[in-house]
Amino acid sequence: MTNKKGQTIEGVFDQMEKYGHEQVIFNYDKATGLKAIVAIHDTTLGPALGGCRMWDYETEQTALSDALRLSRGMTYKCAVAGVSHGGGKTVIIGDPRTDVGTVGMDFVSAAKQSKYLVGLPEEYGGSGNSAIITAFGVWRGVKATAKEAFGSDSLKNLTIAVQGLGKVGYNLLGRLHEEGAKLIVTDVYEESVRRVIEEYPDITVVSPNEIYGVECDIFSPNALGAILNDQTIPLLKCKAICGAANNQLAEPRHGDALQEIGILYAPDYIANAGGLIQVADELQGYNKERAFKNASLIYDILLQVYATSKQENLPTYKAADRMIESRIEKIGRIKRKYTA
C-alpha cells in the first residue's frame, strides 16, 4: 500500500496481521464529535480486558498505532498477571485538557449502558483509583530491578529519574521518597511539577528534554510510550530502566540496543500490571488485600525474567515475551483440544 508520494505505508489489515489482532472497530458520532478506535488483540486466554485513553493524536494513523500497541500490551499483561483475559484498548481522539479527559464518572455513565465496565469509583461499587496499585506494582518492580542491577533491593540513596508526575508517577514518587531515594523529576505540565515541589522540596527538577541525560541509577518513565528510541538511548546515563509507561520501546530493536550497552530494562507490561490486576480482581468481587498481594508478585516475575535473560543471553524484553507467548500457546492448545 502506498501514499500519493509513492511511499509504502501499512494498511489496517497489514498491521492487524503483523501484531496478531482479531478486531479493530472505528467509531464516530456526529452529534458529539466522538472519534474512537477499539482494538481487540487476542482472546485466547479469555474476553478482552483493557482501558480507555484520550489523547490529542497528531494523525489518525498515530491513534490506530497506539490502539494496536496498547491492546497487544494488554494481552501480554493479562498473561503475565495470570488472569483469564485477553487484551483490548480504546483510544479517543481529543485533547484531554480541553475535553477534560476521562474520569471515573464517565464510566459510571457508561455502566448504565453496559454491564461490562470495571474500574468504577468505590462509591459506585468499583475498586477505585487504579493508579495507586499501579504505582505500588512499579515500586515493587523498581526494587526487583535494583536487586538485579546493584545486588540489593534497597532504594536508599539510589538516584532515580522520574519522567511523568501524573496519577501513577505522583504515587510512585511518594514511595520512592519514603525509601530515601534521591529524586530527579520532570513533567510537561507545570502544575504537576509545582505540586511535587511543594510536597517534596528536596527533589531536583529538570526540563522534559533534560531527563534522558541526567546521571542516575534508575530511569523511570511514567508518561507516554516510545520514549526509548534512536534519539534518546544514546543520551541515557542510567544502569537500569523501570517505569509505568506503556510501550516504552519505540521498536523491539531498541530493547536489543539497551542490552548491548548494558542497561537493564524492566519490560513495561510487567512493571505496570498492577492496575490490570486490580480491575481483573473486581470481576470476581474486589478484594483489596488479594489484589495488592498479587501485584506484589511483580517483584518475583521480574527476577524470573532477569534470570532467564542471563541464562539464555537474551534481552529482557525477549525473555519476557517468550515466557508469555509460551503460556498463551499452551492454553490455546488446551482449549482447542477440549472445545473442538
3-state secondary structure the chain: CECCCCCECCCHHHHHHHHCCCEEEEEEECCCCEEEEEEECCCCCCCEECCEEEECCCCHHHHHHHHHHHHHHHHHHHHHHCCCCEEEEEEEECCCCCCCCCCHHHHHHHHCCCCCCCCCCHHHCCCCCHHHHHHHHHHHHHHHHHHHHHCCCCCCCCEEEEECCCHHHHHHHHHHHHCCCEEEEECCCHHHHHHHHHHCCCCEECCCCCHHHCECCEEEECCCCCCECCCCHHHCECCEECCCCCCCECCCHHHHHHHHCCCEECCHHHHCCHHHHHHHHHCCCCCHHHHHHHHHCHHHHHHHHHHHHHHHCCCHHHHHHHHHHHHHHHHHHHHHHHHC
For 297, other C-beta atoms within 10 Å of its C-beta total 16
**Residue 321 falls inside a structural domain:** yes
| pLDDT tens, position by position, 285-328 | 899 999 999 999 999 999 999 999 999 999 999 999 999 888 89
- Domain with 59 in it: 12-70+85-102
Answer yes or no: do 143 and 205 share one domain.
yes
223-236 b/e with 16+ CB inside 10 Å = b? bbbbbbeeebbeeb
**Residue 336 falls inside a structural domain:** no
Answer yes or no: do 199 and 300 share one domain.
yes
Residue 35 is among the residues annotated as catalytic for this protein: no
Answer yes or no: do 160 and 269 share one domain.
yes
Answer yes or no: do 213 and 293 share one domain.
yes
* Residue scoring higher pLDDT (181 or 109): 181
Q: How far apart are CA 328 and CA 332, in angstroms?
A: 6
CB 253 within 8 A of CB 162: no
Answer yes or no: do 225 and 160 share one domain.
yes
| pLDDT tens, position by position, 59-116 | 999 999 999 999 998 999 999 888 999 999 999 999 877 664 567 778 888 888 888 8
Segment 209-226 mean pLDDT: 95
Burial class of residue 245 in the structure, from the number of CB atoms within 10 Å of its CB (0-12 exposed, 13-18 middle, 19+ buried): buried
Mean pLDDT (the chain) is: 92
Q: For position 339, what pLDDT does the model report?
A: 64
Answer yes or no: do 64 and 137 share one domain.
no
Q: For position 118, what pLDDT does the model report?
A: 86
Q: For position 93, what pLDDT does the model report?
A: 95
Q: For position 10, what pLDDT does the model report?
A: 84
Q: How far apart are CA 184 and CA 174, in angstroms?
A: 13
Q: For position 291, what pLDDT does the model report?
A: 96
Answer yes or no: do 186 and 268 share one domain.
yes
Q: For position 2, what pLDDT does the model report?
A: 56
Answer yes or no: do 307 and 253 share one domain.
yes
| pLDDT tens, position by position, 228-258 | 999 999 999 999 999 999 889 999 999 999 9
Res 7 pLDDT > 60: no
Enumerate residues 6+ apart whose C-beta is below 8 A from 119. 51, 104, 107, 126, 127, 130, 275, 278, 279, 282
Answer yes or no: do 155 and 51 share one domain.
no
Answer yes or no: do 152 and 288 share one domain.
yes
Give the number of domains in the chain: 2
**Residue 265 falls inside a structural domain:** yes
Q: For position 284, what pLDDT does the model report?
A: 86
| Residues present in the chain in total | 340
**Residue 278 falls inside a structural domain:** yes
**Residue 260 falls inside a structural domain:** yes
Segment 10-23 mean pLDDT: 92
Res 1 pLDDT > 60: no
Segment 159-168 mean pLDDT: 97
Q: Can you give the CATH number for the domain in which 193 is found?
A: 3.40.50.720
Q: For position 126, what pLDDT does the model report?
A: 86
Answer yes or no: do 135 and 91 share one domain.
no
Q: For position 26, what pLDDT does the model report?
A: 97
77, 89, 182, 318: the active-site residue: 89
Res 155 pLDDT > 90: yes
Q: Can you give the CATH number for the domain in which 17 is found?
A: 3.40.50.10860
**Residue 334 falls inside a structural domain:** no
In DSSP terms, 91 is beta-bridged to 37, 53
**Residue 122 falls inside a structural domain:** no
Answer yes or no: do 95 and 135 share one domain.
no
Lowest-confidence pick of 21-25, 165-169, 322-326: 322-326
| pLDDT tens, position by position, 31-55 | 989 999 999 999 999 999 998 989 8
